[in-house]
């Protein structure tokens, strides 16, 4: 819990920061202070460049995990902020975590969860990720995994859902070997800002086209407005239409194989 004298970051301020290409971090889990980060180099994952390895494709097709969207946001952010054996103290402070919970309540922060059957037949959360979505942009904040491939499957679903929603930009903030193996690339902050503004302008353009009676513009505007949850829901509908409602992971593998 936050101390009463430590306010959350207001949702409107968080969104304003993301639209300007900056984001908050803290030095530790208990740090009440927040500093704003604008990296010199930025990691993005091109939505048409996701690297689906053969082993990950097999995992998706076999349906090892049940995957959901926004079903356990609080649990995902808690897991991402939890201490890890191979990492320093989390930058996700209690203040930052509570700020994103509030942003989630406002409909601008989302999570993807991966589940497996645990002892006694109960489902257990074994992986996931969360981030901030707006105007055809998704800024991934953190991910976690408690079993092999759990976070990779979450990321694969994220990419597929963002593509389905008509998103333009997936921001990963900082590059890591793990993200690079999945297709992430590093670009300058200046280039990132160009892509960010183009994505924001693209959504506005789609809305204008929709207003002018363009069916394609209406589809793009609706997808961008709904963002990740709308894209995720549309994937499940598509999987059912393809006769794969019982194996949506197989549908995701097919869609990523055809577009990567």
String of b and e for 180-214 (b: at least 16 CB within 10 Å)?
eebbbebeeeeebeebbeebbebbeebbebbeeee
**What sign does the dihedral 116-154-75-70 (CA atoms) show?**
negative
Domains of the chain: 11-259 (3.40.630.70)
What angle do the packed helices 189-211 and 215-241 form, to 10 degrees?
Answer: 100
Answer yes or no: are the C-beta atoms of 158 and 151 closer than 8 Å: no
Average pLDDT on 201-216 reads 55
pLDDT in tens, 49-102: 999 999 999 999 999 999 999 999 999 999 999 877 666 668 899 999 999 999
- The 10s digit of each residue's pLDDT in 161-204 is 999 999 999 999 999 999 999 999 999 999 999 999 999 998 76
Whether the model pTM is above 0.75: yes
Exposed, middle or buried: residue 242 (CB in 10 Å: 0-12, 13-18, 19+)?
middle
């Amino acid at each position: 819990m936050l101390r009463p004298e430590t306010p959350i970051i207001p949702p409107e301020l968080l969104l304003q920061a993301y639209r300007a290409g900056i984001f908050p971090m803290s030095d530790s889990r208990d740090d009440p202070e927040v500093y704003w980060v604008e990296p010199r180099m930025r990691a993005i994952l091109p939505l048409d460049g996701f690297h689906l390895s053969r082993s990950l494709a097999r995992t998706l097709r076999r349906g090892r995990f049940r995957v959901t969207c926004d079903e356990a946001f609080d649990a995902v952010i808690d897991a991402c902020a939890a201490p890890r054996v191979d990492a320093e103290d989390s930058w996700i402070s209690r203040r930052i975590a509570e700020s994103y919970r509030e942003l989630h309540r406002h409909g601008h922060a989302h999570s993807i969860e991966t589940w497996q059957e645990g002892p006694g037949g109960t489902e257990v959360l074994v992986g996931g990720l969360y981030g901030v979505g707006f105007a055809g942009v998704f800024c991934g904040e953190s991910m976690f995994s408690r079993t092999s491939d759990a976070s990779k499957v979450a990321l694969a679903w994220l990419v597929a859902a963002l593509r389905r929603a008509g998103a333009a930009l997936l921001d990963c903030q900082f590059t890591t070997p793990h993200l690079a193996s999945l297709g992430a690339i590093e670009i300058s902050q200046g280039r990132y800002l160009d892509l960010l503004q183009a994505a924001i302008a693209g959504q506005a353009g789609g809305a204008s086209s929709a207003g002018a009676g363009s069916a394609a513009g209406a589809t793009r505007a609706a997808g961008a407005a709904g963002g990740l949850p709308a894209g995720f829901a549309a994937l499940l509908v598509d999987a059912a239409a393809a006769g794969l409602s019982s194996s949506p992971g197989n549908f995701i593998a097919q869609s990523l194989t055809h577009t990567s």
